A and B are shown apart, each in its own frame.
Chain A
Amino acid sequence: MNVLAYLIPVALAFGGAGLAMFFWAMRNGQFEDLDGAANRILIDDEEPKE
């Protein structure tokens, strides 16, 4: 049963890390413009030569 002493904290730490990541992403505005991200992939980095 000693293994629990490691596993439970590890499980909690992973879960907590996921949660922290989600909070960070939200505060950082990652979910502000979901449709925009899908469209930005289509923008050429270079302006096409006219």
Chain B
Amino acid sequence: MTTLSLPDEIDHVGLTDSRFTVPGIRCAGCIAKIERGLQEVDGVDAARVNFSAKRVAVRHDRSLDAETLVAALGRLGFEAQSAATNPLGQDDIESRTLLRAVAVAGFGMMNIMLLSVSVWSGAGGVTRELFHWLSALIGLPVVAYAGRPFFSSAVMALRHRRTNMDVPISIGVLLATGLSVYETATGGEHAYFDSAVMLLFFLLVGRALDSTMRNKTRAGIGSLLSRMGKSARVVAPDGSTKSVAAEDLSPGMLMLVAAGEALAADGVIEEGRSSIDNAMLTGESIPQAVGFGDAVHAGAINMGDPIRVRVTAASSDTVIAEIARLMDEAGQSRSYYVRIADRASRLYAPTVHTLALLAFGGWMIAGVGLHQSLVIAIAVLIITCPCAMGLAVPAAHVVASGVLARRGLLVKDGSALERLAEVDIALFDKTGTLTIGEPVPEIRHLSRERKSIALALAQSSRHPLSRGLARALEAEGVTPAVVCSLSETGGTGICGSWGVTRVALERTEILGGGLSSTLRIGKDRVDIQFLDPMRPDVVETLHALKTCGIDSRILSGDRQMSVNALARELGITSAAEMRPEAKLTLLYALGKEGHRPLMVGDGINDGPALAAAHASIAPSSASDVSQQAADAVFLGRGLMPVALAVEVARRTMRIVRQNFGFAIAYNVVAVPLAIAGLLTPLIAAIAMSLSSLVVVGNSLRLARDTKHQPT
């Protein structure tokens, strides 16, 4: 087995590390296949798959470049993309800091509790003093370390003259610690290090849960512009060519685009005929034939012969850059959404401060002395400390996202669940969303011999139709025939010789008959029809959404005819031939009418709509961009996770509201007791922990209820 720890600088042996995002890693077999397969590539020292992040780290010779490795992964059957060199995103660092803080707080809590128990059970005199000093020795560094996430956030809020949940927490913890140090130094009876550290521990657990969940699905997603061609060969007037970086291209230049290259700018074809893969822009997986005068867009991949393209728009003016900008802007509006916990804390924090201050002032006036008044104020701060509140939301979200993950839906963050619960209309893209998005061939009429020849031909081509055919044949257990001297001509097909017979798999000449290929064996020809079948449970899913009170519509960039046919079959309304801007406009219009639309789509052309919708879901077969823009990603061939997501999200919000209800009820009972001076900080800390447990327990019901549900 290969093991690989990855220090960042390993110059000395001429090796370097590269990382690739490989969304197709699904099982142990994939891990083994990739790690073994890459090891056989010359110049690769070691490869290690990170299954959770769907990433592969490769240590390889400097002479090997990323494209070679991507191609090697492609040959192994995995689509890969070069990922940023820095393996740790900002989010990752945050959740690591939180985990460390949890560990430190847990360590401190256990040890201080150990000491405190003996103090409560009546240790006195020198022993008590010694234990207090020991507690201080453990407690001070622990508070200083584990409290940082709260302190820094509180300071940030105060600096902007705002207040948040972290302000009362910080004040409570610092006051309790300060008072305990004073008590310890003066040989007093009580020290509250235990309360302070316990509080930090429970709060940190809530934060860490929240952050872990957020990171889980965000990992390993590439960015939009990385797909665009990075450079182009530009033909000078004298006929010589030179490579020009994408951002230096300008309108009027003539690009030479070789087969397999991605276009670096928008343009019009001046010379040559070819087929281009426009999947990036349209989501359409079938290459489009193009010739003189046709417009082509950056990001499209030339599948056939070399073409010469006159640049009409470059870098930030290209259609794909425009989509990126639309997405960015659309995403902004969503960030105005205020999470329920923040809404609660806006009211909560000032109330808590006022109450604590009032309690302190009241008892001072009542004349119990500074010390007693402070203890009461601390008890109020601790008991109202939003532990149950802090856990109310993340605990329910973590359980819900776990439930959904088991059913094949990955939710990106908690706010996504909240928004999913609120949707009231669902908009579906057609190709790749309602349909599976990959061509499935009709192969029943083929004989055994034909099947094995077809497989031999299809498996050596990267054309989407060939790949679909190869997949279907392999699934039937067909073994490929021996076909040699294979050669592929872009736009036409692939041919070779089977014994002495010429065989070929090529484009069907009669157009308008949908998707099909022709298999030619000698003089014998047979057509293979391809269909893009609907996902198997579309009807059930739409029905389930309907019972949740959600109407569905189709919103597609596809042709009117095929969209209408599908809409009629499903009995829902549709809008066809929608450009990305049109989809956006429609979403905004729906928003204005007071609707909260759920967008389900996969193509890059759906990207802006996914970002703008109140909530959005993309299939895992979607482009990276769409997966990044969407709130959730569903796996597998079924569409049911979409309906399930809405249902679970709604149940989650019910649980969250119950949790809040409980937390508020608990405060209503406990706060007056604390203000009345009946609770010491220790009892307050215990009560607070108990309330947290109730909230966590309530959230766990979510998992149980869902388990009992018939699927």
Contacts and interface: CB of A to CB of B under 8 A. Distances in A.
Contacts of A16: 107
Contacts of B51: 33, 35-36, 39-40
Contact of A15 (B5, B52, B111): B111
Q: How large is the interface on A (under 10, 10 to 19, 20 to 34, 35 or more residues)?
A: 20 to 34
B103 A28 contact: no
Contacts of A15: 107, 110-111
A48 to B, nearest CB: 10
A26 B96 contact: yes
Given A15-B107, A16-B107, A40 B52 contact: no
Specify which of B99, B103, B127 lies most central, judged by the most chain A CB atoms within 10 Å of its CB.
Answer: B103
Interface stretch (B27-35, B241-249, B419-427, B444-452): B27-35
Interface in B625-674: none
Interface in B55-111: 96, 99-100, 103-104, 107, 110-111
B28 A40 contact: yes
A40 to B, nearest CB: 6
Contact of A11 (B27, B36, B99, B111): B111
Nearest to A19: B107
Contacts of B107: 15-16, 18-19
Interface in B7-28: 27-28
Say what secondary structure dominates the interface of chain B.
Answer: helix
B561 to A, nearest CB: 44
A47 B1 contact: no
A1 B127 contact: yes
B interface, how many residues as a size bin?
Answer: 20 to 34
Nearest to A39: B28
B50 A36 contact: yes
A35 B134 CA distance: 41
A9 to B, nearest CB: 10
Contacts of A11: 111, 114
Interface in A1-50: 1, 4, 8, 11-12, 15-16, 18-19, 22-23, 26, 28-29, 31-36, 39-45, 47
B601 to A, nearest CB: 27
Contacts of A29: 5-6
Interface in B435-468: none
Nearest to B137: A12
B134 to A, nearest CB: 7
B435 to A, nearest CB: 29
A33 B103 contact: no
| Chain A interface mostly | helix
A10 B110 CA distance: 14
Interface string B126-138: 0100100010001
Contacts of A4: 127, 130
A23 B107 CA distance: 12
B253 interface: no
B53 interface: yes
A43 B103 CA distance: 33
B102 to A, nearest CB: 9
Contacts of B399: none
Contacts of A43: 1, 28-29, 31-32
B313 interface: no
Contacts of B114: 11
B99 A26 contact: yes
A36 B100 CA distance: 22
B49 interface: yes
A48 B538 CA distance: 39
Contacts of A45: 1
Contacts of B103: 19, 22-23
Given A26-B99, A28-B5, A45-B1, A36 B52 contact: yes
- Determine which residue in A15, A19, A32, A40 has the highest number of CB atoms from chain B within 10 A of its CB, and name it: A32
A23 to B, nearest CB: 7
Given A15-B107, A15-B111, A23-B100, A35 B52 contact: yes
Interface in B209-225: none
Contacts of B52: 32-36
Contacts of B5: 28-29
A45 B6 CA distance: 23
A8 to B, nearest CB: 7
A39 B110 contact: no
A30 B306 CA distance: 48
A4 B128 CA distance: 12
Pick from A11, A28, A33, A39 the residue with the most CB of B within 10 Å. Answer: A39
Contacts of B111: 11-12, 15
Contacts of A36: 31, 49-52
A29 B6 CA distance: 9
A41 B53 CA distance: 18
A40 B114 CA distance: 40
A32 to B, nearest CB: 6
Contacts of B49: 33, 36
Contacts of B138: 12
Given A26-B96, A45-B1, A39 B50 contact: no
A4 B29 CA distance: 55
Contacts of A8: 115, 134
B122 to A, nearest CB: 14
A49 B576 CA distance: 52
A42 B1 contact: no
B652 to A, nearest CB: 23
Given A39-B27, A43-B28, A33 B50 contact: yes
Interface of B: 1, 5-6, 27-29, 31-32, 36, 49-53, 96, 99-100, 103-104, 107, 110-111, 114-115, 127, 130, 134, 138
Interface of A: 1, 4, 8, 11-12, 15-16, 18-19, 22-23, 26, 28-29, 31-36, 39-45, 47
Going nearest first, the 7 A-B pairs with the smallest beta carbon separation are A36-B51, A42-B28, A39-B28, A43-B32, A33-B50, A19-B107, A35-B52
10 contacts: A11-B114, A15-B107, A33-B49, A33-B53, A36-B31, A36-B50, A39-B28, A39-B31, A41-B28, A47-B36
Given A36-B49, A39-B28, 5 more contacts: A1-B127, A35-B51, A36-B51, A40-B28, A43-B29
